[in-house]
Structure 1
Amino acid sequence: MYHDLLTACRAAGCSNFTLWGVTDLSSWRAAAYPLPFDDDGRPKPAHAALIAALRGPP
């Protein structure tokens, strides 16, 4: 979902893309939504999806 949303945002010319948090440890939404990093700061699938979307065409 992160990949698709960020790709659509870039295609529409968005200048910002806001996340609900960065790590599960610091987010109140961690239980409901995947964040880019786990409690220990290790990259999760969401991180890879965001990077792939940024590397692809807008």
Structure 2
Amino acid sequence: MENKYRKVIKELNNAFTELQYWLFRTNNVVETINKTSENLTDTIKNLFNTIIIFK
């Protein structure tokens, strides 16, 4: 059970890392949202897939 939470936390961390990367790269929240909407798709899918698998 502890392992499933570790995987969820890892995927969540990956999503936040991707968001921070684009936010600091662009320094513009609107531009960041536009760029990350495409780039975060796979990262967020992985997060939710991990959560659904262990639900």
TM (normalized to structure 1)? 0.37
Question: Which structure would you say has the larger RCO, counting Cα contacts within 8 Å and 6 or more residues apart?
Answer: 2
